[in-house]
Structure 1
């Protein structure tokens, strides 16, 4: 997969549950291998790229369009049965975090314009777990508790890991303006699983870390 056309094909699959469509794959990366990523000193494990003429090219683009966010499940994810509604919640939460915390001063549009930077986002290396059936669940009390949790939106599925990838391109070019591969820091403690209904708060932190990584890439180059 190379160039903008390949990226658009990658992200065009949709979940009808939301206007911020999403799709899911078993494994993969958003950023083409042809993009020359280099380590970002301030963020161990993170790699990035920014075009030498980024400022000049970006100055010609006056809006930002975010295509459907994609989710890539890690091949060794203990649970792979994520529902379309759950995928939509994840991608919507991350898109909202980007709009509110990262792109709050940008002109974010719902459809791409001739002067739009196309900002592709993917959540990769996603590992999920699902709470196993317990004996208590088979009792009337357990069933009642389980029903109450479902009504309250408490998910049995939890997220353990994810990496955020982003690449920005101009609408008329196959050359990346910038790209970021932003995994958790290497050697960090194994994170506690986060229930899917609690993930929006985590994604806000991921969005902010993506913003900080982009700033570091610009300063580094």
Structure 2
């Protein structure tokens, strides 16, 4: 199975600031609008018995290939909204906060023993991560919101960064690719454990606190796949 990393197109005639703004908006809008996930459908995932619901793949010669790679490049994390998500109006800044927080946790808690580089090198394994099957809900309008007290309360919450948008479900998918982004080394589809999928909606501003658990479970699933291939 081959998968080529895409590079951003160059748009001549735009200022650097405008290019950045457009690229950011288009990247987040397109990623959030897709619902097919990160792992291509032709990848043959098999159940990971230690983690009910989790499936994975690892290349038969993974150990040999990994021994030849001396660094890891963590590609920008993507978000894929579920097509039936009750709310789809997540803002680019909110998405950036989630993906940035998750990337920091992955570097600090999962890839802390690896040589993580900022740009892919000839000896880098390229790791792609996505938050998929994401369902969001937004707090509905309440009559109190238009009262003087409600306006003040909402203003205080807004300043404090308290989100009206909540997360109800989220799966983590991961791909490990060769330095040229062509050869698949591993793939993991890691949903929440059955019966443990966010039982209560979690406000977006609270989600980063839960991502450490997601990162550790992803790491454990990878170890299980690697040790039993």
1:109 paired with 2:91, answer no
Q: Is the contact made by 1:15 and 1:84 (CA closer than 8 Å) also made in structure 2?
A: no
1:26 paired with 2:34, answer yes
- Aligned to 1:151, which of 159, 176, 185? 159
Deviating more after overlay: 152-161 vs 28-37: 28-37
Query: When the two structures are superposed, what TM-score results if normalisation uses the length of structure 1?
Result: 0.91
Q: Is the contact made by 1:129 and 1:157 (CA closer than 8 Å) also made in structure 2?
A: yes
Q: Number of paired residues? A: 215
How far did residue 189 of structure 1 move? 6.1
Q: Is the contact made by 2:126 and 2:181 (CA closer than 8 Å) also made in structure 1?
A: no
CA distance in 1, matches of 2:137, 2:197: 18
Deviating more after overlay: 188-197 vs 122-131: 188-197
Q: Is the contact made by 1:73 and 1:125 (CA closer than 8 Å) also made in structure 2?
A: yes
RMSD over equivalenced CA pairs, Å: 2.1
How far did residue 67 of structure 1 move? 1.4
1:202 paired with 2:206, answer no
How far did residue 34 of structure 1 move? 2.3
Q: In the TM superposition, what whole-angstrom CA distance separates every residue of 1:81-119 from its partner, at most 9, and x where no partner exists?
A: 000000001100110110111001111111111111000
Counting only pairs closer than 5 Å after superposition, residues 60-79 of structure 1 correspond to structure 2 as 60-79=68-87
- Aligned to 1:122, which of 122, 130, 147? 130
CA distance in 2, matches of 1:173, 1:140: 55
Closer, same or farther: CA 95–190 of 1 in aligned 2, 3 Å: closer
How far did residue 4 of structure 1 move? 2.5
How far did residue 130 of structure 1 move? 0.5
Q: Is the contact made by 2:134 and 2:167 (CA closer than 8 Å) also made in structure 1?
A: yes
- 2:187 maps to which residue? 179
Q: Is the contact made by 1:121 and 1:164 (CA closer than 8 Å) also made in structure 2?
A: yes
Q: Secondary structure at the match of 1:200?
A: helix
Query: When the two structures are superposed, what TM-score results if normalisation uses the length of structure 2?
Result: 0.87
CA distance in 2, matches of 1:217, 1:104: 20
Structure 1's unaligned 5+ residue stretches are none
- 1:192 maps to which residue? 200
Counting only pairs closer than 5 Å after superposition, residues 19-98 of structure 1 correspond to structure 2 as 22=28, 23-98=31-106
Structure 2's unaligned 5+ residue stretches are 10-18
CA distance in 2, matches of 1:119, 1:173: 9
Q: Secondary structure at the match of 1:92?
A: helix
